[in-house]
Structure 1
Amino acid sequence: MGGSVGASGGGVAASDVSVGASDGSVAATAHCGDAARSGRARAWAELLRLPALFSVPGDALAGTAATGAAPNARTLLAIGSSLCLYEAGMALNDWADRDVDAVERPHRPLPSGRIRPAAALTAACALTGAGLALAARAGRPALAVAAPLAATVWAYDLGLKHTPAGPVAMGAARGLDLLLGAASTTGRPRAALPSAALLGTHTIAVTTVSRQEARGGSPLAPLAALATTALLTRVVAHRSLRHLTGRQQAAAPALPGIPAARPGRQEPGGPQPGALLTTALAAAYAATTARPYVHAALNPSPPLTQRAVGAGIRATIPLQATLASRSRGTATALLIAALAPLGARFAKKVSVT
């Protein structure tokens, strides 16, 4: 009887060991599953360059401010459309460049095998469709801007990127994105053309630098981008001449996107808070890019050039905020500016280039 009980006890112990091993196997399987899901999520975050998304909402908001209107529900639709079309361009960019990346950037999601090329292309198509659908919900004027924007994105990724027209196409896409906000909110994108031109000029400069970020190259591109930043800072810092009065306003030269002063209208002397905000935001825009551009000019190596490109992308946010403030959209400018620290924080985890 004792032996039988002992054997039974041994059987129970063996069963416990078996159960313990089973639990360990389940835990290991669950851990592997979590790791796989985390790896896939990170791969998609890298493919879509998610931190760069913080530079997108400011396009629509700056476009809205340029029309003198306040953001509304249609502005949110424009932002949603912009986000979808921007990410479609990211996915399509890596799909189109997968063979080049296999040599220059084998760690990217497609050449490393973490994401299948077919999945990236499918995502680009789905995101483009979603972007156009959201623009259509915002109205015909919005769709009339979103359609050429989507076409520009696809043309850039599939053919124009490696041609001299590439930077211009990218600048046009960013400018159209700003006009999308104006068209969605008010149906009057023409009022936002000066702001779109300034934002597009900045994008052309950054894109020109990015063309040599994989191999390095000449210091001319970062020097040209530095000069462009200085010029844009000078232009956008001149807000609306509110601080001028009477004869000073009448004699002051007209600036792009700024309504002409009304004859005889008197304004209190001294700088206004809005003008000070515009100046501060313009200074932040210049400060974001100045040092990285100088470093890339002194040593145009891939790491420093990539850092300069990342700074140029992040600088898009204070530039958008400056354009909004310059258009007398103080609250909108502050909202856009609040996106900058968020973008910088997430850029430390996932590269924007």
Structure 2
Amino acid sequence: MRARDAAELVRLPAALTAPGDSLAGAAAAGWPYGRRSWAAPAASVCLYLAGMALNDFADCDLDARERPERPIPSGRVDAFEALGLATALTGAGLGLAAVAGGRRALRVAVPLAGTVWAYDLWAQRTAAGPAFMAAARGLDVLLGAGGHASAAAVPALAMATHTAGVTTLSRGEVHGAPRAAALAAVAGTATAAGLATLGALRAARGPAAGGAAAAGRLRRLAGRARAAAPAGGGVVAAVVYARSVGRPQLAAVRAVGDARAARGATGAGVRGGIGLQAALAAGAGAPAVAAALSALGPLARLASRKVSPT
């Protein structure tokens, strides 16, 4: 298997959308893995790439009819090579999760891997497909939370909602998307942006209440001032996300049945997940992480010109 063919098989540019899930969860939960926090996003990337390779293995017959240029139907990659790669990447992802948080992390990573395999081998061909994909993204956020599911509930729900909309629309990439699918994607983007905004505002109120109990009005005001910056950054990033993803989705609403419009909106949605992750991280008080994630967006767009992310 040549490197170029492997990159196309796993849709390598799309893997840039994976690390931000667990980073957003970790920021919301207060970085529960400490110095081992790096291993959670690495696990996310491995499990994401495994899902992409497994998807092409499962879809090789369909791709032979609809996308004969893909690596397996074109003969550049053997189907069982793809299956072996998916298996190896799944094992690597679970191993890295264990490095990050031991049993705590594996309690999420194992169901996450199971959801990925169930989606590719069965659910993607059914009406349950978007729900399974959304569940995988939500679990990926919780992977970074280290067992503090309640702390990361809002970012997990935001990523799941975004993913459900994008997955629903992606079903029209070949033959065009019906209006209902495009509208569902728009609604998912709006809801995810709203959840990111809500999370930022809730995080801003938290320090204020603690400050009041501890040291009175002066400390309360200082807590609000410190919280205002991440809250504002989170809100602004949520607006930027909604605009970058929502505009091509609205174009798909207007161009009902146009496969090209559906593909464009799907690609924007896949890459736009990075913007949502940045908004969630900013709202949780991790501006450096948010800035690093924001930098991945242009890189993903550039890489997408070489290898398709969808």
- Select the residue among 285, 288, 291 that pairs with 2:247: 291
Of 215, 240, 256, which residue of structure 1 is paired with 2:201?
A: 240
Instruction: Provide the C-alpha distance between the structure 1 equivalents of 2:229 and 2:150, rounded to a whole number of angstroms.
Output: 27
Work out which of the residue numbers 123, 145, 148 in structure 2 matches 1:160. Answer: 123
Q: 1:290 to 1:146 in 2, by over 3 A?
A: same
How many angstroms does 1:219 deviate by?
1.5
- CA pair 328-161 structure 1, distance change in 2 beyond 3 A: same
Q: Does the 8 Å contact 1:87/1:127 carry over to 2?
A: yes
Against the structure 1 CA distance between its residues 337 and 163, is the aligned structure 2 distance closer, same or farther, given a 3 Å change threshold? same
1:143–1:260 distance in 2 versus 1, CA, 3 Å: farther
Paired residues, number: 299
1:301 aligns with 2:240: no
Map 1:134-173 → 2, pairs under 5 A: 134-138=96-100, 139-173=102-136
Structure 1 counterpart of 2:221: 267
> Is it true that 1:278 corresponds to 2:228 in the alignment?
no
Q: Give yes or no for contact 1:101–1:111 (8 Å, CA) kept in 2.
A: yes
The question of whether the paired residues in 1 share the 8 Å contact of 2:154 and 2:196 is answered with no
Indicate if the aligned counterparts of 2:161 and 2:189 stay in contact, CA closer than 8 A: no
Distance 1:259 1:169, change over 3 A: farther
Label 1:284 to 1:107 Cα distance change in 2 as closer, same or farther (>3 A): same
Of 327-336 and 281-290, the range deviating more from structure 2: 327-336
**Residue in 1 that maps onto 2:63:** 101
Find the counterpart in structure 2 of residue 201 from structure 1. 161
- In structure 1, C-alpha distance between the alignment counterparts of 2:33 and 2:296, rounded to whole Å: 16
8 Å CA contact retained: 1:65, 1:328: yes
- Percentage of matched positions with identical amino acids: 48
Partner residue of 1:314? Answer: 271
| Aligned ranges 1:73-88 → 2 under 5 Å | 73-88=35-50
Instruction: Write the deviation string for residues 316-351 of structure 1: whole angstroms up to 9, x where unpaired.
Output: 111011111111222222222221111111111111
2:207 and 2:122 map into 1 onto residues whose CA distance is 39
CA distance in 2, matches of 1:350, 1:134: 26
RMSD over aligned Cα atoms: 2.2
One-letter amino acid of the counterpart of residue 298, structure 2: P
Letter in structure 1 aligned against 2:111: P
Which structure carries more helix by proportion? 2
Q: Secondary structure at the match of 2:173?
A: coil
AA in 2 matched with 1:336: L
Does the 8 Å contact 2:31/2:37 carry over to 1? no
Cα distance in 2 for partners of 1:342, 1:72 equals 27
1:213 to 173, 176, 180: 173
Cα distance in structure 2, aligned partners of 1:259 and 1:273: 13
- Write the distance in 1 (CA, Å) between the matches of 2:233 and 2:201: 12
Q: Decide whether aligned partners of structure 1 residues 104 and 259 sit closer, same or farther in structure 2, where only a CA change above 3 A counts.
A: farther
Contact 2:158/2:193, CA 8 A, preserved across alignment: no
Contact 1:80 1:131 in 2 (8 A): yes
Q: Deviations over 1:109-167 (max 9, x none)?
A: 11111111111011011111111111122211011110000000000000111111110
Displacement of 1:189: 3.6
| Displacement after TM superposition at 1:71 (Å) | 7.1
Instruction: Tell me the TM-score normalised to structure 2 length.
Output: 0.90
Measured in 2, the distance between the counterparts of 1:67 and 1:221 equals: 33
Conserved? CA contact 1:62–1:178, under 8 Å: yes
Contact 2:274 2:296 in 1 (8 A): yes
Task: Name the stretch that deviates more: 43-52 or 212-221.
Answer: 212-221
Structure 1 segments unaligned to the other structure (5+ residues): 1-36, 244-248, 250-257
Q: Partner letter of residue 259 of structure 2?
A: P
Cα contact 1:277–1:325 (8 A) shared by 2:
yes
TM-score under structure 1 normalisation? 0.79
Q: Deviation string for 1:171-210 (max 9, x for gaps)?
A: 0101111111111xxx434421221111111101111111
1:352 paired with 2:309, answer yes
After TM superposition, give the deviation of residue 286 of structure 1 in Å: 0.9
Letter in 1 for 2:252: A
Tell me which structure has the larger Cα radius of gyration.
1
SS in 1 for 2:71: coil
